[in-house]
Chains A and B, each alone.
Chain A
Amino acid sequence: MDTAPYLVHRFGTSLVVLAGVSVVTYGLLFLTPGDPAEVILSQQLDRQPSEAEIEAFRAEHGMDEPVPLQYADWLTDVLRGDLGTSYYSDASISALILDALPLTLELAAASVVVALALAIPTGVLSAVHRGTAIDRASQLGALVGVSMPNFWLGYLLILVFALTLGVFPVAGAGSYSQLVLPAVTLGTGMAAVLTRLVRSSMLDVLDEGYLDTARSKGLRERIVVYKHALRNALVPVVTILGVQLGALLNGAVVIEIVFQRPGLGMLLVDAVFERNYPVVQGITLFTAVAFVVTNLLVDLSYRYLDPRVELGGDPT
């Protein structure tokens, strides 16, 4: 199957989705109970604003125009890379995001490394030794990991490694030692999900007839498992990795609060509580776009991992 038409189709639907994402993001503003301008002003001024003040605020932020026009203006700016400015400071939102982003990316990358390093060996061992003590132990570990709220795990780690043993700092960001605990917290949670997936995917593959073909060649079991089985078992894992990026962003929000890391998540939560809508919109849009793009890349990487995937089928 030709790759080109597929790519065009895939990019086309991604654009449609992004357009929808922008509409939803902009529409979030209209969920506010009451008049946004009034709410914001009363918070800024710490008193009931006058009618004139509200009018002035509206004019300043383009809120006096019809909604579709407001959206069009906003979208034009966004496409130019201008996400607007914060209500409270005059900082550009793009700059705020770019400042916070490295900390979140660092956390995400470290967590993925922790997760993969834990999940793949554990999942494979668990599947190969199905039903044994190794399998039971790793399954139980994974189950507990899946079920634990990650903020609780974070506090447990702080309690043990920071407060009691004093090995790592309690909170903050900037140094590698400050990255260890948050990355382990977020990474183990993700590892738990992935371990279960690797195990079940591996169990499916271990039933496949082609492993018997490989065995009947006289190959060692190690090669049968780590070459023939693992390669096929990783295909669904990569798919889920794209979706897991979303979980990673979800987790990052909470973990950044637990460990007091001024990343994207913390920026978002602060903005939500301050009712700083442009910032909220900007971050929501940014994460959604990042998520869509990553999933697009994951889709494309199938071609390499699983030659069976005909890149012409219905992408859903």
Chain B
Amino acid sequence: MTTTPPTLEYGPDDAATPDDESTDLLAVENLQVQFGTYDGPVRAVDGVSFSVEPGETVGIVGESGCGKSVTARSIVGLQEPGEVVGGTVHIDGVNVHEASDRTRRRLRGDTVSMVFQDPDQTLNPAFDVGEQIAESLKVHDQPERQRLLDYLHAPLFASRSDWRDHRKRAVELMAQVGIDDPADRVDDYPHEFSGGMRQRAGLAIALASDPDLLIADEPTTALDTTTQAQLLDRFRRLTDERNMATLLITHDLGVVADICDRVVVLYAGQVMETGPTDRVLAEPHHPYTRALLECRTSRAARKQRVPTIEGAVPDRLGEQPGCPFAPRCPAAVDTCQEGKPPTFERDDGTVRCREGVVFGESDDDGGPVLEYGCGETQCAREDSSTTSDTATATARSASPPPRPDDDTDPLVSLEGVSKRYQQAGGLLRRLLGTDRCLQAVDDVTLEIAAGETLGLVGESGSGKSTLADLVTGLETPTSGAVRFDGDPVGAAGTRTAATLHDVGVVFQNPRSSLNPRLPVAQVIAEPLYADGWEDQRRRDRVGELLESVGLSERHTERYPHELSGGQLQRVAIARAIALEPRLVVLDEPVSALDVSVQARVLNLLLELQRELELTYLLISHDLDVVEHVSDRVVVLSNGEVVEAGQTERVLAEPSHPETAALVEAVPRLEHSSQ
């Protein structure tokens, strides 16, 4: 450490000297980033400005494709695949994009660190975890002495004692980020770590340089809710202890509410609104922020239509005048379509919108009346025209939802069902006695009544998807029986055509569940073809189905890669209901989708259930979704049912610690006021 001067010296080539106007640790000014695509340059980030002060936690929120990650990467100077075409980023007064490579490396090794999104991608698979953390420590200690042969551990060129010291400190860091038995795990390779552990190791690498600013790009998105809660907690503690500023990129408003002081809302590469978290979430000024909050299922009444944002995120090809949100904004006026919307500085943040729209007639009500439907605070004063949609929905579901009834037989019942997998079996292994078993589902007994929605929740690896596969027949139970309508059923191959027709399935990832080589019409017609329908009848039915899932005739000839995620999931739903099944198994049907799209797909599922009297088995890790849709809920842990009951009861007063932990882990907006 003695080699490092107390203050950083930046080379004379760096024109930028600390700005006298700000004490900001990070100042982003009118940042513009483009990527070249086949259709021309896309404006991924289109004039973003914001700042982060020392010690502060700032959240950047927005849906996928709005430029969050690109902004984060541009801050540390990782520009691929984009190109910075305008604006400046100053960290500690240094202009990142004009700095020399050396200065930028210095910044990365000293002032700013980054944690990335994908746990499968953050760590190098070829080196053990300790090595990767030690490397970060070494860069921080001796940023100028980076010799390739030393880093390759070439004998004679690498200092063994040096590396040994750094490894020791790596173990300490691993303990700090919450990795158990760090001394044993320091030699493990990334593939031996779970996703959560890898993200922790990524955090350790970031903390190794003792940064002033930590940039975290969706660090918990790929993780379980419980793991996410633990990691967020760790984040909060470490940043407080070290008085580190944090820039957190996320799509989840719950996460923002949990740990951010201030929030920046991004849409289509532009900042829509900034302000203190409490204020923005409670009293959003911008119509987009408001819409984003409204479409959360946790805000809507159970089984009711969730308000949605119509339309899609625009392509940002070339110069486009006006507010990017205008085409989807119900409060938009003609002037929104032209010129740049002005940014208003207020005591409680900034908002970029036409004055008449945001601070118009209804200013004192906390915002204009928007057509998003029924938000909790707005319901009372909504006029009848805007609630017609909601009103009909309420009327339709006025009849009490069907409950499992002792008198009627259940549609599906599982009796003591278990599923064991032999890991890497084979005669030889059995002879050698190295056979290993994985108990995926353990003695599960449950019933699904006709017409109800049963929610299946649990952490990943708890056996949810295996249980779904047992119901559909993709897997056969090792012991126990699955009954459909009272009759035992086996694997899909042994089921009768009628039984197969009675069960429809919607998988998690719509991109992999549709054959990329078939156009939409043929994808939907596949079950009809298998059932021997004639050509004309097939085509009529496909038309009907498309209409009922809200797709138009012009989609029939499209190939899957030409459709968006939400549209693809609609196609998958249409295929699942093509033969009028009685049960539809929904395996994480909305978890791959953005919040606003998620809301629309959930609305569709609820509508279809009412119209077609469907029974749903819903698998989800998202308790908000389960709470919104399900009548009853079953909690799985390590393949066993630990709790089951009416949704309200189970989620409000969980009796099993596992359930309580799941409920506790969900980041909620409501916490923000505490």
Contact = CB atoms under 8 A, between A and B. Distances in A.
Given A9-B428, A226-B152, A232-B125, 15 more contacts: A5-B428, A9-B426, A208-B121, A210-B124, A212-B116, A213-B124, A213-B132, A215-B108, A216-B76, A216-B108, A217-B209, A218-B107, A218-B109, A218-B143, A228-B126
A209 B116 CA distance: 8
Contacts of B426: 9
B146 A223 contact: yes
B118 interface: yes
B101 A210 contact: no
A313 interface: yes
B139 A218 contact: yes
Contact of A220 (B105, B127, B128, B432): B105
A307 B188 CA distance: 10
Interface string A225-250: 01110011000000000000000000
7 contacts: A5-B434, A212-B116, A215-B78, A216-B114, A217-B136, A219-B105, A312-B424
Given A9-B426, A217-B139, A219-B135, A226 B124 contact: no
Contacts of B125: 210, 232, 306-308
B123 A220 contact: no
Interface in A74-104: none
B373 interface: no
B205 A217 contact: yes
A222 interface: yes
Please give me the 3 A-B residue pairs with the lowest Cβ-Cβ distance, nearest first.
A218-B109, A209-B121, A218-B108
Interface in A289-313: 305-308, 312-313
Nearest to B140: A218
A284 B187 CA distance: 46
A99 B126 CA distance: 42
B101 A213 contact: no
B139 to A, nearest CB: 5
Contact of B146 (A1, A8, A220, A306): A220
A4 B113 CA distance: 42
A312 B422 CA distance: 13
A313 B209 CA distance: 39
Contacts of A226: 148, 152
B118 to A, nearest CB: 6
B106 interface: yes
Interface in B70-86: 73, 76, 78
A223 B148 CA distance: 6
Contact of B101 (A9, A221, A231): A221
Which of A213, A219, A228, A306 has the most chain B CB atoms inside 10 A of its CB? Answer: A213
B122 A217 contact: no
A162 interface: no
Contacts of A231: 124, 126-127
Interface string B429-447: 1001010000000000000
B116 A217 contact: no
Interface of A: 1-2, 4-5, 8-9, 12, 208-210, 212-223, 226-228, 231-232, 305-308, 312-313
A223 B206 CA distance: 18
A228 B122 CA distance: 12
Contact of B121 (A210, A221, A308): A210
A198 to B, nearest CB: 16
Contacts of A1: 424
A5 B426 CA distance: 10
Q: In terms of DSSP, what is the predominant structure of the interface of chain A? A: helix
Contacts of B434: 2, 4-5
B191 interface: yes
A1 B426 CA distance: 14
Nearest to A2: B434
B189 interface: yes
B428 A8 contact: yes
Nearest to B426: A9
Contacts of B202: 213
B151 interface: yes
Given A213-B205, A227-B148, A307 B191 contact: yes
Nearest to B192: A307
A231 to B, nearest CB: 5
Given A5-B432, A9-B426, A223-B151, A306 B126 contact: yes
Contacts of A228: 124, 126-127
Contacts of B189: 307-308
A222 B140 CA distance: 17
Contacts of B92: none
A217 B118 contact: no
B110 interface: yes
Nearest to A312: B424
B305 to A, nearest CB: 39
Nearest to A217: B136
Contact of A217 (B108, B126, B429): B108
B596 to A, nearest CB: 27
Contacts of A217: 108-109, 113, 135-136, 139, 205, 208-209
Contacts of B127: 228, 231
A117 B183 CA distance: 40
B116 to A, nearest CB: 6
Contacts of B135: 214, 217, 219
Contacts of A9: 426, 428
B115 to A, nearest CB: 9
Interface string B337-356: 00000000000000000000
A226 B122 CA distance: 18
B191 A219 contact: no
Contacts of A220: 105, 146
A233 to B, nearest CB: 10
Contacts of B124: 210, 213-214, 228, 231-232
A275 to B, nearest CB: 43
A1 B429 CA distance: 12
A105 B637 CA distance: 60
B151 A227 contact: yes
B531 to A, nearest CB: 36
Given A212-B116, A227-B152, A306-B126, A219 B428 contact: no
Contact of A218 (B106, B123, B128, B148): B106
Nearest to A210: B124
A209 B123 CA distance: 8
A228 B135 CA distance: 11
Interface in B445-486: none
B78 A308 contact: no
Nearest to B136: A217
Contacts of B428: 5, 8-9, 12
A220 B148 CA distance: 9
B65 to A, nearest CB: 18
